[in-house]
């Protein structure tokens, strides 16, 4: 009965509501749902943290910090392993993969599983951020709402972007940053048909957050020192430092993740639990998202950084503060990797803001020690550092600028925010062409990009362009046998395979045309004598961009496809690829 009513509704909607208008309605729903998810996640994290830490003594070490994070990643890991039974880490990378390889389809459990796992992970002290999980949650909401209403793939991709934009806008109260994030990080093209749904989701999510959590910016920041033009060289230099720190974070996190991925689950958990608990015990600011530390530095209250630690009381030392913060700067990436590697669920969003704030503060704090630069604003540079590191790690300078401006209300620093973001971005792309989110997919050739030709090639599947109607021959067959095969074939190339199916070479019709009509030679020549080697072999599942590069390098029109062990599978032809290219272009990018 319910199904029949739903189908009647779909038919009514098709008759009464134009597709483009219905997309706007769905994007509004996506904005409401993603904002609600963001609010629930933030409240859960703060509730757990307040219950666990409210009675801690700020003047001495707290040994419970050795225990809480371990319990958090254990519970989250068991939840994912035995209840969800699916990998929910790397939230933004999963969205990029869904857009590039899964026709924008995200599994339904992602609408709640990341939310549950990350609230436990971060609430109990995991050193990661809640933003990537909530972005995956928002994207999953958009994807599944679109599927629920039976919307086509192009619209589904747009709704995934709407969910991500709404998540960023909802959790940070930053609608413009949400829109820009989708364009820069998720790499969706901004067109006239996509801008309105994205804006509606972003504005709706931010409005819902304003209603339930107030209109104040997430971090209270009051600019008491006006930015002066003479500070520009320092801003650009800070941008370079931010770019180098971003490179350190990206490369180190990738290496740690690769090393931990080789261990079995319980070994990995024990190692990560040890690293995480020791680091958080020694450096309590590593506990959770680190937003308390950011708020302290933005308001000039660095005297509380060493509360609840073994180092309480040494903040009066000018260099003591710097050394403490430098150790945090170097170890944060280990704490974040251990959190996710040990079974926790979280993202790099908050750690990027955290590291940037510390770096900016340290930069100004260090230069102010010397007489000739004693007037750099530590608060302002802490704010600039946040934009710089976020821009570098995410390869998203506009997101860094708008997010920090909306997050703190620091609109008066818009010019230096742009300078430090661009400087950081230009620094890191000299060494690392892809962001921490996209590098894993880019290495496998599975990343959708703004470059339309590359995007279409990414969407093309190898299986869809392999032709299997090429008749094969064997090396011991005679010319007469080959002529009989030719008579049954519509092709002019005949792959030569052995008894194990390995590709040995190819017989080209043009090469034997002068002898194939001479019956007296049919028993004298065997395939092994007149076959030739192929100009190149394409290994199955090779990214299409590399396949096209191989065609260009060899000047061939047809190339054989083999598996990893060299067994023949079929052929690829340029004509087939071009036909498939046109089909994908029409299906996915028409109307842009």
Q: How far is CA 403 from CA 48, 164, 388, in A?
A: 26, 14, 11
> What does the pLDDT read at residue 52?
83
The torsion defined by the Cα of 350, 440, 326 and 62, in degrees rounded to 10, comes to 60
pLDDT for residue 277 is more than 80: yes
d(CA 72, CA 274): 13
> What does the pLDDT read at residue 221?
67
pLDDT for residue 91 is more than 80: no
Q: Which residue has the higher pLDDT, 222 or 389?
A: 389
> What does the pLDDT read at residue 162?
92
- Give the domain ranges of the chain: 2-213, 229-447, 454-589
Single pTM value for the model: 0.75
Tell the burial category of 491 from Cβ atoms under 10 Å away from its Cβ (0-12, 13-18, 19+).
middle
Q: What is the pLDDT of residues 329-368, one digit of tens each?
A: 999 999 999 998 888 888 888 899 999 999 999 998 888 8
d(CA 138, CA 202): 11
On whether the CB atoms of residues 451 and 416 are closer than 8 A, the answer is no
> What does the pLDDT read at residue 59?
56
Mean pLDDT for 126-140 is 89
On whether the CB atoms of residues 241 and 363 are closer than 8 A, the answer is yes
Query: CB neighbours of 537 closer than 8 A, spacing ≥ 6?
Result: 503, 559, 560, 561, 562, 566
Q: Which residue has the higher pLDDT, 123 or 303?
A: 123
d(CA 18, CA 584): 24
**Was domain 2-213 assigned CATH 3.40.50.980?**
no
pLDDT for residue 286 is more than 70: yes
Of the listed ranges 148-152, 253-257, 572-576, 584-588, the least confidently predicted one is 584-588
State the pLDDT confidence band at 449, using cuts at 50, 70 and 90.
very low
Residue recorded with tokens 């549950």:
116
Task: Tell me if domain 229-447 and domain 454-589 are identical in fold.
Answer: no
Q: What is the pLDDT of residues 537-558, one digit of tens each?
A: 888 877 777 777 787 888 887 8
> What does the pLDDT read at residue 241?
95
Is residue 532 classed as helix, strand or coil in its secondary structure? Answer: strand
> What does the pLDDT read at residue 312?
58
The torsion defined by the Cα of 429, 431, 437 and 442, in degrees rounded to 10, comes to 100
With pLDDT > 70 as the criterion, what percentage of the chain qualifies?
A: 83
3-state secondary structure 209-275: HHHHHCCCCCCCCCCCCCCCHHHHHHHHHHHHHHHHHHHHHHHHHHHHHHHHCCCCHHHHHHHHHHH
Mean pLDDT for 376-404 is 89
CA atoms within 13 A on the CB side of 510: 1
Is residue 412 classed as helix, strand or coil in its secondary structure? Answer: helix
**Was domain 454-589 assigned CATH 3.10.580.10?**
yes
> What does the pLDDT read at residue 147?
86
With pLDDT > 90 as the criterion, what percentage of the chain qualifies?
A: 24
- Top-confidence range, 235-239, 287-291, 538-542, 569-573: 235-239
Q: How far is CA 55 from CA 47, 280, 402, 546, in A?
A: 14, 17, 37, 59
DSSP state of 108: G
d(CA 254, CA 259): 9
pLDDT for residue 386 is more than 90: yes
> What does the pLDDT read at residue 450?
46
On whether the CB atoms of residues 153 and 104 are closer than 8 A, the answer is yes
From the list 114, 69, 119, the residue with the least C-alpha distance to 92 is: 114
d(CA 136, CA 83): 18
Q: What is the pLDDT of residues 311-330, one digit of tens each?
A: 655 555 667 778 888 889 99
Query: CB neighbours of 543 closer than 8 A, spacing ≥ 6?
Result: 444, 445, 446, 457, 458
> What does the pLDDT read at residue 451?
47
pLDDT for residue 591 is more than 50: no
Mean pLDDT for 141-149 is 88
Q: What is the pLDDT of residues 512-524, one digit of tens each?
A: 888 888 888 888 8
Is residue 28 classed as helix, strand or coil in its secondary structure? Answer: helix
> What does the pLDDT read at residue 582?
54
Mean pLDDT for 156-169 is 90
Q: How far is CA 414 from CA 411, 420, 534, in A?
A: 5, 10, 58
Query: Which H/E stretch holds residue 390?
Result: helix 378-394
pLDDT for residue 585 is more than 70: no
pLDDT for residue 173 is more than 70: yes
Mean pLDDT for 206-227 is 79
d(CA 425, CA 397): 6
> What does the pLDDT read at residue 223?
65
What six digits make up the tokens of 19? 């597709």
d(CA 397, CA 380): 18
> What does the pLDDT read at residue 590?
46
Q: Which residue has the higher pLDDT, 325 or 1?
A: 325
> What does the pLDDT read at residue 195?
85
The dotted CATH code for 229-447 is: 1.10.3080.10
Question: What are the two backbone dihedrals, phi and then psi, of residue 559, each rounded to the nearest 5 degrees?
Answer: -140, 140
Start-end of H helices in 460-500:
462-465, 479-488
Mean pLDDT for 485-511 is 86
> What does the pLDDT read at residue 332?
92
Mean pLDDT for 296-309 is 69
Mean pLDDT, the chain, rounded, equals 82
What are the DSSP E strand ranges found in 9-76?
none
d(CA 576, CA 464): 9
d(CA 212, CA 216): 11
Question: What are the two backbone dihedrals, phi and then psi, of residue 572, each rounded to the nearest 5 degrees?
Answer: -115, 145
Of the listed ranges 259-263, 382-386, 580-584, the least confidently predicted one is 580-584
The strand pair at 466-467 and 538-539 is best described as unpaired
3-state secondary structure 489-526: CCCCEEEEECCCCEEEEEEEHHHHCCCCCCHHHCCCCE
Rg (CA), the chain: 29
């Amino acid at each position: 009965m319910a199904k029949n009513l739903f189908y009647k509704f779909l038919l009514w909607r098709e008759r009464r509501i134009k597709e483009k208008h219905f997309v706007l309605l769905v994007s509004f729903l996506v904005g409401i749902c993603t904002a609600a998810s963001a609010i629930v996640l933030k409240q859960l994290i703060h509730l757990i943290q307040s219950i666990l830490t409210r009675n801690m003594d700020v003047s001495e070490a707290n040994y419970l910090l050795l225990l809480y994070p371990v319990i958090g990643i254990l519970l989250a890991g068991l939840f994912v392993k035995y209840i969800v039974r699916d990998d929910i880490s790397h939230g933004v990378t999963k969205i990029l993969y869904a857009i590039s390889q899964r026709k924008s389809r995200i599994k339904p459990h992602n609408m709640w599983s990341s939310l549950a796992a990350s609230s436990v992970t971060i609430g109990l002290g995991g050193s990661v951020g809640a933003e990537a999980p909530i972005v995956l949650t928002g994207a999953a909401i958009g994807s599944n709402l679109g599927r629920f209403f039976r919307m086509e793939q192009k619209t589904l991709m747009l709704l995934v972007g709407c969910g991500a934009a709404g998540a960023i806008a909802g959790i940070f109260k930053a609608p413009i940053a949400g829109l820009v994030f989708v364009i820069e990080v998720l790499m969706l093209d901004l067109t006239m048909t996509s801008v309105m749904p994205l804006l509606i989701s972003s504005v709706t999510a931010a409005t819902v957050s304003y209603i339930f959590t107030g209109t104040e910016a997430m971090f209270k920041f009051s600019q008491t020192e006006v930015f002066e033009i003479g500070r520009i060289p320092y801003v650009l230099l800070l941008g370079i430092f931010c770019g180098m720190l971003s490179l350190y974070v990206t490369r180190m996190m990738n290496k740690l993740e690769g090393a931990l991925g080789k261990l079995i689950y319980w070994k990995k958990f024990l190692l990560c639990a040890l690293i995480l608990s020791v680091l958080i015990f020694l450096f309590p600011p590593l506990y959770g998202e680190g937003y308390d530390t950011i708020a302290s530095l933005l308001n000039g209250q660095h005297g509380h950084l060493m509360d609840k630690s073994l180092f309480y009381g040494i903040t009066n030392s000018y260099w003591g503060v710097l050394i403490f913060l430098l150790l945090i700067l170097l170890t944060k990436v280990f704490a974040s990797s251990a959190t996710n590697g040990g079974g926790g669920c979280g993202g790099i969003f908050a750690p990027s803001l955290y590291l940037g704030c510390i770096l900016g503060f340290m930069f100004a704090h260090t230069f102010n020690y010397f007489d000739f630069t004693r007037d750099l604003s530590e608060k302002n540079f802490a704010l600039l550092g946040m934009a710089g590191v976020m821009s570098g790690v995410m390869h998203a300078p506009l997101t860094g600028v708008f997010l920090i401006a909306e997050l703190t209300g620091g609109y008066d620093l818009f010019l230096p925010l742009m300078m430090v973001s661009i400087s950081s971005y230009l620094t890191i792309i000299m060494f690392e062409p892809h962001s921490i989110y996209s590098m894993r997919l880019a290495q496998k050739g599975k990343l959708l990009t703004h470059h339309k030709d590359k995007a279409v090639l990414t969407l093309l599947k190898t299986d869809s362009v392999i032709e299997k109607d090429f008749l094969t021959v064997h090396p011991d067959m005679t010319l007469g046998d080959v002529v009989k095969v030719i008579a049954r074939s519509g092709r002019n190339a005949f792959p030569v395979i052995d008894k194990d199916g390995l590709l040995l070479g190819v017989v080209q019709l043009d090469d034997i045309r002068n002898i194939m009509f001479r019956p007296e030679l049919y028993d004298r020549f065997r395939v092994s004598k007149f076959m030739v080697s192929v100009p190149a072999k394409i290994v199955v599942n090779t990214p299409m961009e590399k396949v096209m590069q191989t065609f260009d390098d060899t000047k061939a029109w047809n190339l054989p496809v083999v598996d990893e062990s060299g067994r023949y599978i079929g052929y690829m032809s340029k004509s087939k690829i071009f036909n498939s290219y046109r089909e994908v272009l029409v299906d996915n990018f028409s109307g842009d």
